[in-house]
A = this chain, B = another copy of it.
Amino acid sequence: MEVTNQRKLKSSRQRDLILGILRSTHCHPTADWIYEKARKEMPNISLGTVYRNLNLLRDEGKIQELCFGRNMNRYDGDLRDHYHVRCVVCGCVEDVPHISPRASSGEIEKLTGYKIHSHRLEFSGVCPACHKNAPSE
């Protein structure tokens, strides 16, 4: 899929703006939220451009794409290892600050004030079959 993207990127005001917005917020915005924010600086920017650039930035590895069970994708400009708490009632998503990878649910509750119901751990990488086809990945 997109990982094999060989095309040479050219800089663009639109892409810089989008990346700037993403890096300057602590929320984990949706494409639409980013679009609304971007329009304040660049009124003619289009939603299609926002989507295209979010996909490019994700493919470059400059941002992380997240999906939290509600249908819309969310984006995170912070690439450091950090974890999330999600409210199953209102759907908000926050970072968990200063967490050790071995923290227990109890510790998370103390740190965040959330009542934790469950957690999810997901590893991303390349499966053996795909690795065989494109060993560069």
Contact of A125 among B67, B71, B117 (CB under 8 A): B117
Q: Which of A10-18, A19-27, A39-47, A85-93 contacts B (4 or more CB under 8 A)?
A: A85-93
**B124 and A92: CB pair below 8 A?**
no
B-facing residues in A110-137 (Cβ within 8 Å): 112-131, 134, 137
Mask, A95-120, CB within 8 Å of B = 1, is 01000011001001100111111111
A9 lies within 8 A of chain B by Cβ:
no
Cα distance A127–B109 when bound, in Å?
10
By a CB distance below 8 angstroms, the chain B residues around A130 are 87, 89-90
Which residues of the partner chain B approach A4 to less than 8 Å between Cβ atoms? 89
Whether A73 sits at the interface, judged by CB under 8 Å, is yes
Whether A120 and B124, one on each chain, are in contact in the complex, defined by CB atoms closer than 8 angstroms, is yes
Question: What are the residues of chain B within 8 A of A73 when measuring CB–CB?
Answer: 69, 71
In the complex, what residue of chain B is closest to A113 when comparing beta carbons?
B128
The chain B residue sitting closest to A72, CB to CB, is B71
Docked complex Cα distance between A137 and B81 (Å): 29
Q: Give me 12 other A-B pairs in contact (C-beta within 8 A), A71-B73, A86-B122 excluded.
A: A4-B89, A66-B120, A71-B71, A84-B121, A89-B127, A101-B121, A113-B127, A118-B125, A119-B124, A120-B120, A121-B121, A122-B122
